[in-house]
Amino acid sequence: MTISGNPEITLYNNPLPKGCELCRLGSKLVVFISGECGDSCYYCPVSSERFNKDKMFANEMEVKDLMDYIYESYRMNALGAGITGGDPILALDKVTELIGMFKEEFGESFHIHLYTSGRYVTNDVLKELVGVGLDEIRFHPLKEEYKEAIRKALKYDLDVGIEIPSIPGEGERTVELVKWAKKEGVKFVNLNELELNERNFFQLNSRGMKVAHGITGAKGSYENARKVVEEFREDKEITVHYCSSVYKDVVETRTRFLRTIRFSSKAYEGFTGEGTVVRAILKGKVDDLTYGEKIGNDLYSFYPEVIDELVSKYDVSEVKIVEEHPDSRRLKVSERLIYSKSQQAGYSS
Ligand code: SF4
């Protein structure tokens, strides 16, 4: 058996869990259900804006209502959702209601996985989650006693996995965890590249960890994960899967953006290979809306390629090219003035 993948992105010894497969297609909605968590890991990747706060996000967008998750799923034509936090079990009512809504709206095949430390997972919790249709559960057993929840989950009709950060210097401990997981019948162990962010930066730096891969990946995290994947390269019983910070930062977000563009951008919007939308914002008076629409008083949004023609034909005072994220927030990446009648500016591309 060989190791599949690419060290920059992912490495794995066996087929990936279904939740990861769908994530690679950019087709999983990321549900951040609440930042509340009873633990406080020094490496916690959750941002200050979210950690221990009762806030909800659909992908990168803050939402106030569970229906917003349904709307966002439609925008990207999601094939499933991954529920995370904090510890989602602390928001169990919301989680079960939302899983029920997903299954009702999109059918049983809409794949749902959930992350938890396991701290609050009891048989009653598992019965509720399985009852509403949860497909896959991933544990982060940061304390020995949390492993008991994994044993419990293995008795239910669920795919059970472990997902932990790959901590430099903890290779042997990780190998022991994978061996334990295999013996218990756990399907997969995901090792995430440890990431530095604005909240855990000092904690990780004080332990000698610095960024060495991509924008956020900690030095030694990849090497640690690679050794563990190699240790199990011939093993057919358990999937060991390394997922890099570059994958999460660049590939996952980009494929999700490209998917959102495919299913919900407007016909007159252009797009880039990075998964951003490009359009021309034009001020003036234009009669022909074949390649655009009116978005305000004397304000239009147009396909960028038709701007030359519109400027020559109509009374146009200003044209800007804007690049935005394709999701509902329409976060602006850049804005360029390419034509101004008052400044007699020509085009600049
Ligand atoms: S259990 Fe997860 S969310 Fe909670 S502190 Fe640890 S890493 Fe952060």
Residue 176 lies in a domain: yes
252 and 272 part of one domain: no
Residue-level pLDDT at 349: 47
- Residue 121: name the closest of 151, 86, 100, 98 by CA: 151
For residues 203 and 299, membership in a common domain is answered with: no
Residues 64 and 149 occupy one common structural domain: yes
Whether residue 71 lies inside any domain: the answer is: yes
In a domain, 132, yes or no: yes
- The long-range contacts involving 182-187, CB below 8 angstroms and separated by at least 24 positions, are 182/235, 182/237, 182/238, 184/150, 184/151, 184/154, 185/154, 185/160, 186/150, 186/154, 186/160, 186/161, 186/162, 186/238, 187/17, 187/159, 187/160, 187/161, 187/238, 187/239
Ligand 1: which residue has its CA nearest to atom 5?
Answer: 40
- Helix (H) / strand (E) element for 116: namely strand 111-116
The pick from 32, 41, 84, 120 for probing ligand 1's pocket by mutation, whose C-beta has the most ligand atoms within 8 angstroms, reads 41
The single residue listed with the structure tokens 């809306």 is 289
Closest CA to 190 of 139, 141, 241: 241
Q: How far apart are CA 300 and CA 280, in angstroms?
A: 8
Q: How far apart are CA 343 and CA 21, in angstroms?
A: 52
Residue 339 φ/ψ region, left for φ over 0, alpha for ψ in the -120 to 50 degree band, beta for the rest: beta
Integer CA distances (angstroms), 342 to 199, 291, 316, 333, in order: 47, 25, 10, 26
Domain finish residue from 239, 261, 283: 261
The residue type at 45: P
Q: Which of 89, 117, 143, 163 should be mutated for ligand 1, with most atoms under 8 A from CB? A: 117
CA–CA gap between residue 90 and residue 120 (Å, rounded):
8
Q: How many helices (H) and strands (E) does the chain have?
A: 11, 19
Q: Measure CA 50 to chain center.
A: 15
Model pLDDT, residue 13: 93
280 and 247 inside one domain: no
- Which residues span the domain enclosing 101? 4-261
Q: Based on the structure, what is the number of domains in the chain?
A: 2
Do 317 and 241 belong together in one domain?
no
Q: Is 140 in the pocket of ligand 1 (CB under 6 A)?
A: yes
Domain end point (choices 206, 231, 261): 261
Residue to mutate, 33, 40, 121, ligand 1, most ligand atoms under 8 Å from C-beta? 40
pLDDT tens for the chain, residues 1 to 349:
578 877 778 889 999 999 999 998 889 999 999 999 999 999 999 999 999 999 999 998 999 999 999 999 999 999 999 999 999 999 999 999 999 999 999 999 999 999 999 999 999 999 999 999 999 999 999 999 999 999 999 999 999 999 999 999 899 999 999 999 999 999 999 999 998 888 988 888 888 888 877 778 878 899 899 999 999 999 999 999 999 887 777 778 889 999 999 998 898 999 998 899 999 999 999 988 989 999 999 999 999 999 999 999 999 999 999 999 998 888 999 999 999 988 755 555 4
